[in-house]
C-alpha cells in the first residue's frame, strides 16, 4: 500500500516536472534546428546542430541591439530603484517629519491601485514634454517611479538595523548623509540584494512599457519586445528557428543569475512573504 | 535650528521618491479620473459630457463580453494553479529525495518573461506549423491538425500557458507558509493516530489559513489583471474569444499597436471610464473574497 502511494507520488511529480520542462526543452533544442526541421516537428534532438541560428539571430534579427537595450533599461532602473527607495526608507524609518503617514499611504496606494494601460498614455505624454520619448530614459524613469514594493521591503529591513548605531555615529560628528552612505547602506546589503534581484527581473521581463515607447522606434526595442515582434515578421513562418534562438538568448541571463543564486534566491523569495 | 536642518534633510532625501511617485504614479491616475467625464479621442476637441461615458460602458456589449472572458480566464487559472501549487508545496515540503532540484524545476517558468513565454508557446501551439501538432500528427495521435489557438480552444490554451507560468510562484509562497508550521504539531497529530490525509485536513489547512488567504488574494488580483501573455499569444482573438478586460482597455488607448485586430479609433475619454469600471470590478471581487474568506476562517 505504501509502495503504491509512493509510486503514484513520484509519477505525479515526474509528469508535472516533464510538463514544466517540456516548453523549455522544445525551445532550447529547437533553437539548434533548421527551420524546416523545426516546423516539421517530428524530431526531438536536432538532426544537425545549427549553431548558426544564434549568429543569425544576433546579427540579422538584431539581438545584439535588443540585448544592449535590455541591459541598459534593467541596470539603470535597478540602480535608480535602489537609490530612490533606500533614501526614502531611511528617512521614513529614522526621522520624524510632517506628512510621513501621507507618504507611506501614497506608496501603498500606487502599489494596490492598478487601472491598467490607461496610465501609459499620460506617462507617454509627460515624456514627450520632457523630450524623453525618443530614448529609453523614459522607460527607465517610469520603471523607477514604481518603486513602492522596494520601498516597503527596504523599510522593513531598515527597522531591523539598531537605531543606536546611527545615533552613535551622529554624536561622533558624522553628518546624516555620511551616516546613511557609510553606515546604513553597507548594513542594508541583504535587503538591497533582494530588491535588486526583483527590480532587475521585473525590468528585464517588462514588455508593455518598452513596447509602447518603441512603437515608432524599432532600434530601441528590448529583448522581450524585439522577440515578440519577430512573431509578426514579414515571413513569420520562416523565422521560428530564430524565435527559438532569440527566446534562449533572452532567458539565458536570468537563468544564469537564477542558477547562480538558486539557493539564496529561493530563500529570499520565501523570506519576502513575511516582510 | 537643528530641528529645521533635520527637516530639510528629511524632505531632501524623500524628494526623488516623492516627485517620481507624484509625477509618474499619482498624476496619471488623476489624469484618467478627469478624462472619464470627457469625450476625447486623443487629439482635437475635449468635450465635457458628464456621465455619458459610463452610460456607454453599461451598453457596451463588447466590454461585458471581455469581462466574462476575464472571469473565465481568471477562474480557470486559479482553479488549476492554486490546488496544483499547494499539492506540489506539500509534497516538496517533506524530506523527499531530490526535492531541491524539483523545486528549482517548478520555479523555473517564473523567471521567464510572460511575453517571451507567449512567443514560445505560439511556436508550439500554432495550427499550421506548430511543434505540438506536427509531433502529434507524426505519431498519429490526432487525425488532423488541432487549431489550439482557434475559437474553440484558444481560451483553454491561454489558461494553460498562464498556469504554466504561475504554479511555481504560488508553490514557493505556499512552501514559505508551510515552513512556518512547527514540526511538533504534526508529531502530536500522528501520535493521536491521524493519518497523512487527516493531518493535511486538520493541521496543514487550518494553520496555513492566513497565508493561504493572502496567496489566493494575490492570485485573484494577478489573474484579473494579467493580459501581457494573451496580448502576445492571441492578441485577444480569434473573434474576441480571449479578449480580457485589461486588453480591451489597452486597445482603446493604443488601437494601432495590436496587429491582428482591425484598428479602431483611439478613445481616451471612454477608455478612462472603462478602466475605472475595471478597477472597481477588481476591487469589488478582491474585497468580496477578503471578507468572505475572513468569515470562513472564523468558522473553520
The boundaries of the domain holding residue B90 are: 48-299
For chain B, the first-to-last Cα distance in angstroms comes to 58
pLDDT at residue B261, rounded to an integer: 46
pLDDT at residue B239, rounded to an integer: 83
* Contact B114/A at CB under 8 A: yes
CB proximity under 8 Å: B 194-233 to A: 211, 225, 227-228, 231-232
Which pTM was predicted? 0.87
Residue B299 CB neighbours (<10 A): 5
Whether A115 sits inside 8 A of B119 (CB atoms) is: no
Query: In chain A, what are the domain boundaries?
Result: 62-274
CB A32 within 8 A of CB A46: yes
Is the previous residue joined to B238 through a cis bond, with omega within 30 degrees of 0? yes
Residue B133 CB neighbours (<10 A): 21
Distance CA B136, CA A215 (A): 37
pLDDT at residue A6, rounded to an integer: 86
Tell whether B42 is covered by a domain.
Answer: no
Q: Where are the alpha helices (DSSP H) in chain B?
A: 2-20, 27-35, 52-59, 61-93, 99-107, 114-125, 131-138, 154-178, 183-191, 196-199, 205-225, 228-233, 245-253, 268-299
DSSP B217-257: HHHHHHHHH--HHHHHHTTT-STTTT--HHHHHHHHH-TTT
Distance CA B21, CA A122 (A): 14
pLDDT at residue B77, rounded to an integer: 96
pLDDT at residue A233, rounded to an integer: 59
Distance CA A143, CA A140 (A): 5
- Taking 50 as the pLDDT cut, the residues of chain B under it are 259-262
pLDDT at residue B28, rounded to an integer: 92
CB A94 within 8 A of CB A162: no
Task: Give the chain A residue whose CA is nearest to the CA of B105.
Answer: A17
Distance CA A46, CA A37 (A): 8
| A contact test, residue of B16, B53, B113, B219 with most A CBs within 10 A | B113
pLDDT at residue B195, rounded to an integer: 83
Tell whether B9 is covered by a domain.
Answer: no
Distance CA A155, CA A92 (A): 8
pLDDT in tens, B94-131: 778 888 889 889 988 988 888 888 888 888 888 777 77
pLDDT at residue B297, rounded to an integer: 66
State how many domains chain B has. Answer: 1
Strand partners, B39: B47
Ramachandran angles phi, psi of B180, nearest 5°: -85, -5
Q: What is the CATH number of the domain that holds B88?
A: 1.10.3720.10
H/E segment holding residue B46: strand B46-48
pLDDT at residue A238, rounded to an integer: 57
Residues of chain B above pLDDT 90, percent: 35
Q: Cβ contacts (< 8 Å) between B16 and chain A: which residues?
A: 83-84, 87-88
Ramachandran angles phi, psi of A223, nearest 5°: -55, -50
Ramachandran angles phi, psi of B39, nearest 5°: -95, 110
- Per residue of chain A (275 residues), what is the pLDDT tens digit? 678 888 988 999 999 999 999 999 888 888 888 887 777 766 778 888 888 888 888 888 888 999 999 999 999 999 999 999 999 999 999 999 999 999 999 999 888 777 778 888 899 989 999 998 888 999 999 999 999 999 999 999 998 888 888 888 888 888 888 999 989 999 998 889 888 888 998 999 999 899 988 888 888 999 999 888 877 655 545 578 888 888 898 888 888 877 776 665 555 555 444 33
| B contact test, residue of A35, A115, A158, A215 with most B CBs within 10 A | A115
- Which of B243, B238, B260, B242 minimizes the C-alpha distance to B147? B238
* Contact B270/A at CB under 8 A: no
* Contact A30/B at CB under 8 A: yes
pLDDT at residue B185, rounded to an integer: 84
* Contact B192/A at CB under 8 A: no
Tell whether B20 is covered by a domain.
Answer: no
Distance CA B102, CA B96 (A): 10
Distance CA B69, CA B245 (A): 8
Residue B30: alpha-carbon gap to chain centroid:
24
Sign of the Cα pseudo-torsion (B20, B22, B27, B33, in order): positive
Strand partners, B38: B48
pLDDT at residue A21, rounded to an integer: 92
How far CA A137 is from CA of A88, A142, A146, A171, B77, in Å, comes to: 22, 9, 14, 41, 35
Distance CA A189, CA A169 (A): 19
pLDDT at residue A234, rounded to an integer: 53
Strand partners, B183: none
Angle, helices B154-178/B205-225, rounded to nearest 10 degrees:
140
pLDDT at residue A273, rounded to an integer: 45
Report the complex ipTM.
0.85
Tell whether B59 is covered by a domain.
Answer: yes
* Contact A142/B at CB under 8 A: yes
Sign of the Cα pseudo-torsion (A219, A225, A230, A231, in order): negative
Distance CA A56, CA A249 (A): 12
Tell whether B8 is covered by a domain.
Answer: no
pLDDT at residue A275, rounded to an integer: 33
When the candidates are 1.20.120.1200, 1.10.3080.10, 1.10.3720.10, 3.40.50.970, the CATH number that belongs to A62-274 is 1.10.3720.10
Distance CA B23, CA B27 (A): 5
* Contact A28/B at CB under 8 A: no
Amino acid at each position: 500500500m505504501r509502495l503504491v502511494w509512493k509510486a503514484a507520488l513520484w509519477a505525479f511529480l515526474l509528469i508535472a516536472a516533464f510538463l514544466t520542462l517540456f516548453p523549455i526543452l522544445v525551445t532550447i533544442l529547437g533553437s539548434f534546428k533548421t527551420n524546416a526541421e523545426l516546423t516539421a516537428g517530428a524530431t526531438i534532438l536536432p538532426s544537425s546542430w545549427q549553431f548558426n541560428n544564434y549568429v543569425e539571430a544576433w546579427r540579422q534579427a538584431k539581438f545584439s541591439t535588443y540585448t544592449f537595450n535590455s541591459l541598459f533599461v534593467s541596470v539603470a532602473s535597478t540602480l535608480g530603484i535602489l537609490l530612490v527607495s533606500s533614501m526614502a526608507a531611511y528617512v521614513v524609518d529614522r526621522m520624524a517629519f510632517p506628512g510621513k503617514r501621507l507618504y507611506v499611504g501614497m506608496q501603498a496606494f500606487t502599489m494596490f491601485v492598478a487601472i491598467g494601460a490607461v496610465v501609459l498614455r499620460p506617462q507617454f505624454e509627460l515624456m514627450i514634454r520632457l523630450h524623453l520619448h525618443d530614448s529609453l530614459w523614459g522607460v527607465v524613469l517610469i520603471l523607477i517611479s514604481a518603486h513602492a514594493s522596494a520601498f516597503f521591503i527596504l523599510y522593513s529591513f531598515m527597522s531591523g538595523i539598531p537605531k543606536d548605531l546611527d545615533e552613535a555615529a551622529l554624536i561622533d560628528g558624522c553628518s546624516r548623509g555620511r551616516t546613511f552612505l557609510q553606515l546604513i547602506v553597507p548594513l542594508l546589503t541583504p535587503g538591497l540584494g533582494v530588491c535588486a534581484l526583483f527590480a532587475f527581473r521585473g525590468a528585464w521581463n517588462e514588455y508593455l512599457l518598452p513596447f509602447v515607447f518603441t512603437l515608432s522606434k524599432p532600434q530601441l526595442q528590448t529583448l522581450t519586445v524585439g522577440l515578440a515582434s519577430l512573431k509578426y515578421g514579414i515571413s513569420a513562418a520562416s523565422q521560428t528557428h530564430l524565435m527559438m534562438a532569440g527566446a534562449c538568448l533572452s532567458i539565458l541571463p536570468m537563468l544564469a543569475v537564477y542558477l547562480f543564486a538558486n539557493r539564496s534566491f529561493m530563500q529570499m523569495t520565501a523570506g519576502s512573504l513575511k516582510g | 535650528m537643528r530641528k529645521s536642518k533635520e527637516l530639510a534633510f528629511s524632505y531632501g532625501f524623500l524628494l526623488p521618491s516623492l516627485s517620481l511617485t507624484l509625477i509618474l504614479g499619482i498624476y496619471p491616475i488623476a489624469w484618467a479620473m478627469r478624462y472619464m467625464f470627457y469625450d476625447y479621442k486623443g487629439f482635437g476637441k475635449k468635450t465635457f459630457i458628464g456621465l455619458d461615458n459610463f452610460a456607454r460602458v453599461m451598453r457596451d456589449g463588447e466590454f461585458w463580453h471581455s469581462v466574462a472572458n476575464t472571469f473565465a480566464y481568471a477562474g480557470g487559472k486559479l482553479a488549476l494553479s492554486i490546488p496544483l501549487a499547494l499539492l506540489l508545496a506539500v509534497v516538496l515540503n517533506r524530506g523527499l529525495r531530490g526535492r531541491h532540484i524539483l523545486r528549482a524545476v517548478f520555479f523555473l517558468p517564473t523567471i521567464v518573461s510572460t511575453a517571451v513565454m507567449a512567443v514560445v508557446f505560439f511556436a508550439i501551439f500554432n495550427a499550421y506549423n506548430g511543434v505540438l501538432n506536427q509531433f502529434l500528427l507524426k505519431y498519429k495521435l490526432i487525425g488532423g491538425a488541432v487549431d489550439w489557438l482557434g475559437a474553440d480552444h484558444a481560451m483553454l490554451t491561454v489558461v494553460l500557458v498562464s498556469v504554466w507560468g504561475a504554479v511555481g510562484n504560488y508553490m514557493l509562497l505556499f512552501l514559505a507558509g508551510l515552513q512556518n508550521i512547527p514540526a511538533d504539531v504534526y508529531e502530536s497529530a500522528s501520535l493521536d493516530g491521524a493519518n497523512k490525509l487527516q493531518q493535511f485536513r486538520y493541521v496543514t489547512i487550518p494553520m496555513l489559513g492566513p497565508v493561504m488567504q493572502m496567496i489566493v488574494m494575490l492570485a485573484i488580483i494577478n489573474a484579473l489583471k494579467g493580459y501581457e501573455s494573451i496580448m502576445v499569444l492571441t492578441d485577444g482573438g480569434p473573434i474576441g474569444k480571449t479578449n480580457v478586460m485589461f486588453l480591451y482597455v489597452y486597445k482603446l488607448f493604443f488601437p494601432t499597436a495590436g496587429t491582428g485586430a482591425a484598428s479602431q479609433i483611439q478613445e481616451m475619454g471612454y477608455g478612462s471610464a472603462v478602466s475605472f469600471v475595471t478597477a472597481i470590478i477588481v476591487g469589488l471581487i478582491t474585497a468580496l473574497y477578503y471578507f468572505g474568506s475572513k468569515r470562513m476562517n472564523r468558522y473553520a
